[in-house]
Structure 1
């Protein structure tokens, strides 16, 4: 029987889902821009059905932590503020799961903004063995440029500090932190929200540095998480646990 409950970890509202029987792995799951933890319950239940304990936090400006006009051009800096806040809060969330009975392989996963976050957390948290990024990007600086171009955002003075903060933690420049770690990149071939080019270039860099990386592109798929995508993620998790 799957157990579910709403909890708070160091002031971060989270949704926690765990299998009733033996836990074989732990997943920290990040939602995307304009989403919330409650909207990820089905995905968390799927993972729990396969034996994974799942913690889904609300990102800054989302869910119980407030809301903004996500479609406004003025909201763009808040996107990166949410990503950077996720990284700052990750150590407490990882510790919470580790301090419980879950002495199991630890993974991080997410969609869109959550997929971007997941690859950052993989770099910063030593306890995390691998990451699944769905329609995300591991080259933050390149994606930042592409976001501004796609949305025709005029340059704002505040972007200077924002980009500097992004560059300090950009996974693309921290490949050496991924030795003995593993990455799965899942992307829709027709995604018009997060440009897949930055993700592909990130995958190329990981392979050049002999990092364990697999990338699957779903031709014709937009900015969505499908049943096939979740199935591939579960199969990958199961395989990495056995390695």
Structure 2
């Protein structure tokens, strides 16, 4: 059983449930304010615990560089892999789900929808749907060697940028233009790729003077997008 926190709306006017995935080194409680705001829009909200966080073997020093480099992508891939188990536990059809993720959670949510084509919506905040592009940027910025051929094969298996665009999920991509943690280039690459494939169910909002955070303007835009699409 995957631990989770559930927010029930006082007036459940929406048929969809929003699943929120938090960022690296964070916790489910960090999503309390956003989950509360969205539940007030009539959605049920579920915030699952992510491996190596909260009660799931949390790492003692998650922001130490060697720890991040060892566990960041493993955490993303593991969470994508266990999604089948999670939706079986919550017993909600894919078409009734909207996935929202920030930072690492954005990577996770984007990875999941590339395998689950009936999911109704995706909101990716300061994450990336272009795994290889983002990892290459991480490695350049940290002075590491490029991915080996074997590592590239693993990334290609999960990378949404490498998957067929045969789903109809409504997508909202959001990114701070000054993001110094997760480069906006990953989102830009993903957006460019899928729009060139003729994908029309997507919006990409960028935010000047915003670093790696969720601004009040972003929250307002999330609410507006949900109201217009669901």
- What TM-score comes out, normalization by structure 1 length? 0.86
- 1:238 CA drift (Å): 2.0
- Distance across 2 between alignment mates of 1:174 and 1:198: 15
Map 1:99-118 onto structure 2 (within 5 A): 99=92, 105-118=96-109
For the Cα contact (< 8 Å) 1:17–1:53, is it kept in 2?
Answer: yes
Residue 72 of structure 2 corresponds to residue 79 of structure 1: yes
Residue number among 110, 121, 130 corresponding to 1:119 in the alignment: 110
Residue number among 157, 160, 170 corresponding to 1:168 in the alignment: 157
What is residue 89 of structure 2 aligned with on the other side? 96
The gaps in structure 1 that reach 5 residues or longer are 1-9
Distance 1:238 1:135, change over 3 A: same
For the Cα contact (< 8 Å) 1:206–1:213, is it kept in 2?
Answer: no
- 1:199 CA drift (Å): 0.9
The gaps in structure 2 that reach 5 residues or longer are none
- What TM-score comes out, normalization by structure 2 length? 0.90
What is residue 40 of structure 2 aligned with on the other side? 49
Q: Deviations over 1:200-229 (max 9, x none)?
A: 011011111121211000001000001211
Residue number among 132, 136, 139 corresponding to 1:145 in the alignment: 136
Distance 1:146 1:30, change over 3 A: same
For the Cα contact (< 8 Å) 1:136–1:199, is it kept in 2?
Answer: yes
- Distance across 2 between alignment mates of 1:52 and 1:14: 16
For the Cα contact (< 8 Å) 2:20–2:48, is it kept in 1?
Answer: yes
- 1:71 CA drift (Å): 2.5
